[in-house]
Structure formats: structure tokens, C-alpha cells
């Protein structure tokens, strides 16, 4: 057993409202440079839809990921080592810019510079590639919210597949059936095919946290990784001639901050934490014969951090004990392996992806409520999950390699949780038969509800800091945490707020951010002595003096958390 730690992410798709905030903040942080105009390390796709780049899931076309050869051994779908080398002069299968989209900007200057005339000046779209006028005809989320679905919906490779398998049952009802959002980042796979495809060996997996990175100095631009990645999450920077990819925001994660996409997620649907896995078993697990067994074999690779044998082996192999603690508290492990509600995206690519998804129940709930049913009744929900074949089959193609039983199991759990908690919230007697119907105890179910519905920042993001002697040098040269009294330095200076030496900006950001994200009081309440700093106000509470007093009677107090106490049936975890 070779225990290794892996940073993982879980996204709860029911909470995604498709606002693209994660994409935008990620782009601002990482890909707002020349050469990466078309690159979105994080993108949000509307499903059903073609995705970005278009139809990336059609591996018969794009040849990403792994497959089994005749002898049952794992080989790259794009071809073996020799074939890759012979194809190096012109990558035989590679998405072109038109498969992503041609990035553009607008000629805003005309709006100001145009001479006086009868017509209003227009900011024309200009291609960021050629600099010429361009016609905008596609983008990273052109089919957002099912835009153009009647014409293009059938181009979704999964729709194609589901249709093929169920013939005309869904032929026309399809477009009205359901919709959900799928935010995607690099999967930071345990068995990455991009890495295996790289002729230079420039892509590597970090031993400490499993983050997959491209060594920009070693990359020579052979472009094989782009073909190799079935999720098409490696991009070619056409200015530098190097491959670039999602970094899991490693500079942030190293100091215990969540990734930018997680941090800025409006729906708070992302969870970050550690997995422990057995690195020796990865290849075998990825090579099981039946694709529908891949989910199970991937689960088997994950190790239980509470198992003393695993803990001993982990310590033995140099995983620090605070990392073990973090692994025990890991929300992603809980969602994936304990509650078994998070599923890997496309396990059939055999890359062992480490970004997991809680599948959305909303397509089913929406449909039920549209038809006038009580969409939170467990009987209705269970019935609908069994009856609504199309959404279930579609989700199965995404998350369980087509196995509808597994996805049904997960959806039933989510439905049960919804119905069970609805009962409690409405003051009814908890119905233990609901959790029992999905093989859970009431206590278990309540814990799962807590994690999925009301987990605080610290519970959603359990990120152990990197162990380095110079951790304080992470953000700024020569800036140290013990600057003027260390972590306490954020407090008042002797002669007022701005006195003393200027605070290194990184330290200020780090502590201000942490302070703001983890406290229940308005930011800077103490340090500003009651004064209001609207720039730092995070909407948490209302700073004194910033709003006029309410004239009308006070609103009814919200239900206190005590009302949501777990049932006392002794069903603790």
C-alpha cells in the first residue's frame, strides 16, 4: 500500500445557478493574458449541450483518455508511444480554434472617437486572433440555458447516445425535459492521460497533494496532451507555444485558501478537501474490464483515513499528521465515499478523475412541480426517479458510464434527504422510514444534510497548509507572517489605522480574507472601532450607521438553528 494524498473537489450540481462567476473570476486570476484569450480553466456548461470545446465528449472523434487493448491492458486511446511520436509533426487529432471559439473584443474606441454625424457610432466586434472585424458565431457558452437547443441540441454527444439507445421515446419531448449546469475544471486525475501523452514529460502530478501541473520550462509545445485529455482541459497558449491548464490554484491551496472558483462561488456548491488513495492500485483499478465497474473500482482506491492501518501507513510514508487530520475531516471524502452521493465525471475515460459531482435532482423536482405534484414528497420523488428515464439516463451517461442503477441510488438518497428534512422543518415528527428506504440512519441523513446544506466555510474547505519552512515567503518576497506581531498585526496600530510601516499587501489580503470569510460579524468591526469601511463590507451584518433605522416594526425572527435539531434517536454516525 502506497498512501498518497490528493486534493479533491466536489460540486453539488443542484445548487449551481449557472451564473458563471467561477469562470469569470478564474479567468481574471489565471487566463487574462495574451495567448489564452479563448482559454477557460473553469467553464460552466448547460447540459444538455455541446460543451466547450464543442462535442469534447465524443471520444471517437477526439481520442482522449484511455481504453483497453485486446489483451485487456490500459493504452492511450490516441495511440501508443511510437504512434504519438510519428504523429508529432502535425497532431492528427486536435481541436482547432473554431472548436473552442474565436475570441473577440469590441472596438470601443470608436464610440468616443467617431466624428459627429447622423448615426450613432457602433463598437464593432474585433477578433482577438486576427485583429480584423469578426462575426461572433460561437463562444464558450453559446448554448447557455439551452440556447439554440431545437437546432443544436442533438449535437450533444450524450443526447446522441441516449437517443440511439432509447429510439424515438424522447425524440421530441427532449428539449423541454430538463436542464442543469455543469461547471468543469481540470479533474486532477489519478491516472491522467494528458500526462501519459506528453512526449516531453513536462506534465507532472505533485507528490504532496496530487495537483497536476505543466512545467512551463519543460513543455516544448508538442500538443499531444490536448488530444490526450478527454475533458479537453489542457489548452495551448498560442502566444507562448506552451500547454496550460487549471492549477487548482495551488499558490492559494498551499497556504490554506480555497481555489478562486470555490471562493467566489455564489451558490457555495464547491467543497475542497483531501482524499487518501493507494497509488499502487490505481492502474489496476483503471483497467477493470466493464466500464460500469469503474466507479466502484475508483471508490476502492480511496482509503479510509480513520482506518488505523491506513493512518500508520500514511505517517510511515511521510504524510504529516495534520494532513491526516484534514483527511479525516475532508468533506469531499464524506460526500464521495461515506454518503456516496458524489460521482466522478465520465469514469469511462479511465483517468480516475478527482473532481466529483453530486448529481442534480432539480430536473426531476422541476418537472414534478410543473405538473402540479408535491415535489418534495418522497413517494412522488421516488416514483418520478423511476419514471423519468431520460434525465436519469442522461445523468448516468455523465457520471456512471451509463449505469442507471447507481445514479438512481444517489438521486433517491437526495430525494429522501429532501423529504425527510422537509418533515423536520415543518415541525412534523421525523419519519425514520425515509432514511431507511435508502439504507441510511436518521442521524446519518441529518449529518449529510448538514454538510450539503449549511456547512460553513471551514467545513466546506478543509485545506491543510503545505509544509514548507519558508511558507511565509509564499506571496511576497521578504514578507513574513510575524510582521509587526504576526497574525495579530491586523489589529490597530498605535497611532491609528494607517500608522506604522505599511502592511505588505499579501498579508493584509490573507488575514482580511480569512477574517471576513470565517467570522459571523461584519468585517473589521473591532479594528475600526465602530467606524464603517464600506470597501471592506461583505454584506455580513449591517455596519452601524450605514443604513437608516427601520421605521416599521421589526421583521419576524428567522427560525433559530435550534429548531433544526437532529432527531434524538441515537442514530449518530
- Which residues sit at the interface with another protein, rule CB under 8 A? 33-35, 81-82, 84-85, 88-92, 94, 96-97, 105, 109, 126, 128-132, 191-192, 195-196, 198-201, 203-209, 216-223, 236-242, 251, 254, 282, 466, 468, 470, 473-475, 477
From CA 457, how far away is CA 472, in angstroms rounded?
23
Find cell 432514511 and name the residue.
Answer: 435
121 vs 383 by CB, closer to another protein: 121
Q: Which is nearer to another protein, 79 or 359 (CB)?
A: 79
Please give the backbone phi and psi of residue 343, each rounded to the nearest 5 degrees, phi first: -125, 150
Q: Alpha-carbon distance 256 to 186, whole Å?
A: 20
Using an 8 Å Cβ cutoff, are 108 and 124 in contact?
A: no
Nearer to another protein by C-beta: 19 or 128?
Answer: 128
For the CB of residue 50, give the shortest distance to another protein in the complex, in Å. Answer: 19
* Residue number with CB closer to another protein (251 or 487): 251
Helix (H, G, I), strand (E, B) or coil at 133: strand
CB of 518 to another protein, least distance (A): 23
Query: Which triple of cell numbers denotes residue 32?
Result: 487574462
What the block records as the C-alpha cell of 96 is 482547432
Q: Which is nearer to another protein, 82 or 534 (CB)?
A: 82
User: Is the distance from CB of 16 to CB of 357 less than 8 angstroms?
Assistant: no
Spatial CA neighbour of 273 closest among 107, 470, 461? 461
- Closest approach, Cβ 246 to another protein, in A, equals 17
d(C-alpha 425, C-alpha 453), whole Å: 13
Q: CB-wise, 505 or 544, nearer to another protein?
A: 505
3-state secondary structure labels for all residues of 65-107: CEEECCCCCEEECCCCHHHHHHCCCCCCCCCCHHHHCCCEEEC
CA atoms of 350 and 294, how far apart (whole Å): 7
Query: Is the Cα torsion angle 47, 50, 53, 55 positive or negative in sign?
Result: positive
Sorted by sequence, the CB contacts under 8 Å of residue 115 that are 6+ apart come out as: none
| Shortest distance (Å) from residue 104 CB to another protein | 11
User: Least distance to another protein from the beta carbon of 61, Å?
Assistant: 14
C-beta of 66 vs 446, nearer to another protein:
66
Q: How far is the CB of 226 from another protein (least distance, A)?
A: 9
How many Cβ atoms are within 10 Å of 139's Cβ, its own excluded? 16
Nearer Cβ to another protein (81/171): 81
CA-CA distance, 270 to 533, in Å (whole number)? Answer: 29
Is the Cβ of residue 65 or residue 423 nearer to another protein in the bound state?
65
Output the 3-class SS for 300-366. HHEECCCCHHHHHHHHHCCCCHHHHHHHHCCHHHHHHHHCCCCEECCHHHCCCCCEEEECCCHHHHH
Q: Could you tell me the smallest distance in angstroms from the CB atom of residue 299 to another protein?
A: 20
- Rounded to the nearest angstrom, the gap between the alpha carbon of residue 385 and the centroid of all alpha carbons in its chain is 25
List, in order, residues 6 or more apart from 271 with CB less than 8 Å away: 9, 10, 11, 12, 262, 331, 332, 335, 455, 460, 461
* Residue with Cβ nearer another protein (455 or 479): 479
Q: Which is closer to another protein, CB of 148 or CB of 251?
A: 251
Looking at beta carbons only, is 204 or 537 nearer to another protein?
Answer: 204
The Cα 140–Cα 376 span in angstroms is: 34
Amino acid at each position: 500500500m502506497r498512501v498518497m494524498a490528493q486534493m479533491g473537489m466536489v460540486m453539488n450540481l443542484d445548487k449551481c445557478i449557472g451564473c458563471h462567476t467561477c469562470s469569470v473570476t478564474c479567468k481574471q486570476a489565471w487566463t487574462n493574458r495574451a495567448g489564452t484569450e479563448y482559454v477557460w480553466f473553469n467553464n460552466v456548461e448547460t447540459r444538455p449541450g455541446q460543451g466547450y470545446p464543442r462535442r469534447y465528449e465524443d471520444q471517437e472523434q477526439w481520442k482522449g483518455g484511455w481504453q483497453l487493448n485486446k489483451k485487456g491492458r490500459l493504452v492511450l486511446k490516441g495511440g501508443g508511444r511510437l504512434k504519438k511520436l510519428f504523429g508529432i509533426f502535425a497532431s492528427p487529432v486536435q481541436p482547432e480554434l473554431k472548436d473552442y471559439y474565436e475570441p473577440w473584443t469590441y472596438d470601443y474606441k470608436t464610440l468616443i472617437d467617431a466624428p459627429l454625424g447622423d448615426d450613432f457610432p457602433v463598437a464593432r466586434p474585433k477578433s482577438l486572433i486576427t485583429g480584423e472585424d469578426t462575426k461572433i458565431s460561437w463562444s464558450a457558452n453559446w448554448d447557455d440555458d439551452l440556447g439554440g437547443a431545437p437546432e443544436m441540441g442533438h449535437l450533444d454527444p450524450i443526447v446522441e447516445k441516449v437517443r440511439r439507445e432509447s429510439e424515438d421515446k424522447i425524440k421530441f419531448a427532449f428539449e423541454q425535459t430538463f436542464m442543469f449546469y455543469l461547471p468543469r475544471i481540470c479533474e486532477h486525475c489519478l491516472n491522467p492521460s494528458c500526462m501519459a501523452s506528453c512526449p516531453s514529460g513536462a506534465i507532472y502530478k505533485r507528490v504532496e497533494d496530487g495537483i497536476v501541473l505543466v512545467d512551463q520550462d519543460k513543455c516544448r509545445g508538442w500538443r499531444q496532451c490536448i488530444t490526450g485529455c478527454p475533458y479537453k482541459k489542457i489548452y495551448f497558449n498560442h502566444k507562448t507555444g506552451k500547454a496550460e491548464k487549471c492549477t487548482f490554484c495551488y499558490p492559494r491551496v498551499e497556504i490554506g485558501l480555497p481555489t478562486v472558483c470555490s471562493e467566489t462561488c455564489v451558490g457555495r456548491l464547491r467543497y475542497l478537501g483531501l482524499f487518501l488513495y493507494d497509488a499502487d492500485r490505481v492502474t489496476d483499478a483503471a483497467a477493470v474490464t466493464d466500464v460500469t465497474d469503474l466507479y466502484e473500482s475508483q471508490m476502492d482506491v480511496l482509503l479510509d483515513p480513520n482506518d488505523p492501518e491506513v493512518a500508520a501507513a500514511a505517517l510511515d510514508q511521510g504524510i504529516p499528521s495534520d494532513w491526516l487530520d484534514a483527511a479525516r475531516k475532508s468533506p469531499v471524502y464524506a460526500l464521495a465515499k461515506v454518503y456516496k452521493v458524489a460521482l466522478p465525471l465520465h469514469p469511462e475515460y479511465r483517468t480516475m478523475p478527482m473532481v466529483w459531482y453530486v448529481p442534480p435532482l432539480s430536473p426531476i423536482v422541476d418537472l414534478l412541480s410543473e405538473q402540479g405534484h408535491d415535489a418534495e414528497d418522497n413517494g412522488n420523488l421516488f416514483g418520478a426517479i423511476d419514471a423519468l428515464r431520460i434525465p436519469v439516463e442522461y445523468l448516468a451517461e455523465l457520471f456512471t458510464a451509463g449505469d442507471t442503477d447507481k445514479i438512481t441510488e444517489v438521486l433517491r438518497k437526495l430525494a429522501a434527504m429532501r423529504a425527510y428534512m422537509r418533515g423536520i422543518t415543518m415541525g412534523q415528527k421525523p419519519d425514520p422510514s425515509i432514511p431507511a428506504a435508502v439504507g441510511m440512519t436518521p442521524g446519518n441523513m441529518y449529518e449529510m444534510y448538514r454538510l450539503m446544506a449549511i456547512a460553513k466555510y471551514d467545513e466546506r474547505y478543509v485545506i491543510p497548509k503545505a509544509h514548507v519552512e519558508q511558507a511565509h515567503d509564499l506571496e511576497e518576497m521578504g514578507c513574513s507572517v510575524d510582521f509587526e506581531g504576526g497574525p495579530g498585526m491586523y489589529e490597530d496600530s498605535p497611532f491609528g489605522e494607517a500608522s506604522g510601516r505599511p502592511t505588505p499587501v499579501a498579508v493584509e489580503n490573507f488575514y482580511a480574507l480569512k477574517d471576513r470569510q470565517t467570522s459571523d460579524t461584519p468585517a473589521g468591526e473591532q479594528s475600526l472601532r465602530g467606524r464603517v469601511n464600506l470597501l471592506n463590507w461583505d454584506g455580513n451584518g449591517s455596519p452601524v450607521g450605514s443604513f437608516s433605522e427601520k421605521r416599521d416594526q421589526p421583521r419576524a425572527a428567522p427560525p433559530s438553528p435550534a429548531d433544526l435539531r437532529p432527531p434524538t434517536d441515537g442514530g449518530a454516525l
